[in-house]
């Protein structure tokens, strides 16, 4: 069965520092993977997606993620954090039947000045 | 206008009351979903629907029911609300097995 593990429920960085949010997945079929962001009091917004094309995926707001099959990982990165990046981030994988998303438990990113 | 709307945005209700959360979409997507979000648990799937005549239970459907009134409308009901149903509820839509688009959420408190 598909599953997602996000390492670290809270990540704190300084403004301008590298952002790295970790996601490992388990899947019995080639996965479709997603990163979503949730700003306070808002719904989830798609940041980027991997659907078996290029392994390095670029998303909105300067974020990108690299699919590494050998490591079963899909970590999210941004070279330079901005205060506006403070939010909760969710990694997700499509379930085996292709019916719904399975979410990780989320990582809260804090950015300090 | 938002593509996926949810009403109400906030609701406080008492134990034992029946409550309905509504979701509408203008994206023309065939699939609609209801999730609940609890702190530290991420989002969990309650029900999903691939079209008006296709309703399926998700991971945590006990205590909930749904109705797909039209392609664009998908309602979630709590027949007899209980305090542990206090959560943030999200509706989402998709076209096929691809990315889902989420509504703004409904914050439900059961006292």
List pLDDT tens digits, range B69-95: 999 999 999 999 999 999 999 999 998
- By Cβ distance, the residue of B44, B97, B102 closest to A44 is B102
The pLDDT assigned to A18 comes to 98
The pLDDT assigned to A27 comes to 83
CA distance B109 to B23: 18
CA distance B39 to B88: 9
Share of chain B above pLDDT 90, in %: 89
Mean pLDDT computed over every residue of chain B: 94
- pLDDT band of residue A65 (cuts 50, 70, 90) is very high
Q: A35: closest CA among B42, B76, B71?
A: B42
Average pLDDT over residues B15-21: 97
Share of chain B above pLDDT 70, in %: 97
Average pLDDT over residues A29-35: 88
Residues 79-98 of A with CB under 8 A from B: 90, 94, 98
| Helix, strand, coil fractions of chain A, as percent rounded to 5 | 5, 55, 40
Q: Beta strands B101-102 and B87-94: pairing type?
A: antiparallel
Chain A interface includes B42 (CB < 8 A): yes
CA distance B55 to B93: 14
Contact between A105 and A3 under an 8 Å Cβ cutoff? The reply is no
Q: Phi and psi (nearest 5°) for A84? A: -70, -5
């Amino acid at each position: 069965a598909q599953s997602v593990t996000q390492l670290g429920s809270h990540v704190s960085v300084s403004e301008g520092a590298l952002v790295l949010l970790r996601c490992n997945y388990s899947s019995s079929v080639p996965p479709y993977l997603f990163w979503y962001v949730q700003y306070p009091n808002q719904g989830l917004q798609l940041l980027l997606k991997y659907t078996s094309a290029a392994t390095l995926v670029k998303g909105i707001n300067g974020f990108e993620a690299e699919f590494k099959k050998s490591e079963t990982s899909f970590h999210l990165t941004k070279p330079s954090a901005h205060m506006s990046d403070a939010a909760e981030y969710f990694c997700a994988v499509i379930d085996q039947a292709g019916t719904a998303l399975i979410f990780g438990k989320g990582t809260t990113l804090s950015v300090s000045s | 206008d938002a593509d996926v709307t949810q009403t109400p945005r906030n609701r406080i209700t008492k134990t034992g009351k029946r409550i309905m959360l509504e979701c509408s979409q203008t994206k023309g997507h065939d699939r609609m979903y209801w999730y609940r979000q609890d702190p530290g648990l991420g989002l969990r799937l309650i029900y999903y629907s691939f079209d008006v005549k296709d309703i399926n239970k998700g991971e945590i459907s006990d205590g909930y029911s749904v109705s797909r009134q039209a392609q664009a409308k998908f309602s979630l009901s709590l027949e007899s609300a209980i305090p542990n149903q206090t959560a943030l509820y999200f509706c989402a839509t998709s076209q096929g097995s691809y990315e889902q688009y989420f509504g703004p959420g409904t914050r439900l408190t059961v006292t």
